[in-house]
Amino acid sequence: MSRERLLAALAEAGREHSTTAVMFHTAVSARMGLGMTEAKALDLLRRLGPLAAGEIAGHSGLTPASVSGLIDRLERKGFVRRIRDTEDRRRVIVEIRNDGVAGFGALFEDVVQGLEGLYATYTDEQLELILDFLRRSAEVQRAATAGLG
């Protein structure tokens, strides 16, 4: 396959991957009673631990004003709580309320099992390449998101 055709196929596969991921997460978010942005903010907090609003903005590419409203909605729905930073009482940290998200892991079981089966078909070297691509493409998307804000 020529490079031109390969790049076109990559672009198409990337779009398909993006669409299927958005549709999956939209369905999961709806089951959780959340909007997509709310669910992804919870994902950030689950992966990175408690964060200040500015840190959520930095990791998500959302504007600080958008993040403030997002935190308000998540807190109202019982998914997060605001706590004072123990070192700097002026700083507020947002953390997940585990009782608010209990049971949501089951929504991901099928996709996790499917991906584990897929990973098993690749060598460690291939997985390292895939991991590098995913990390670098996520950074490209984060920068593009920030550019829209």
**Whole-angstrom distance, CA of residue 35 vs CA of residue 13:** 26
Token couple for 117: 């089966």
Whether 93 and 53 have beta carbons less than 8 Å apart is answered as no
**Whole-angstrom distance, CA of residue 82 vs CA of residue 90:** 12
The pTM assigned to this predicted structure is 0.78
How confident is the model over 89-143, as pLDDT tens digits? 788 899 999 998 888 889 999 999 999 999 999 999 999 999 999 999 999 988 8
**Whole-angstrom distance, CA of residue 58 vs CA of residue 75:** 20
**Whole-angstrom distance, CA of residue 67 vs CA of residue 73:** 10
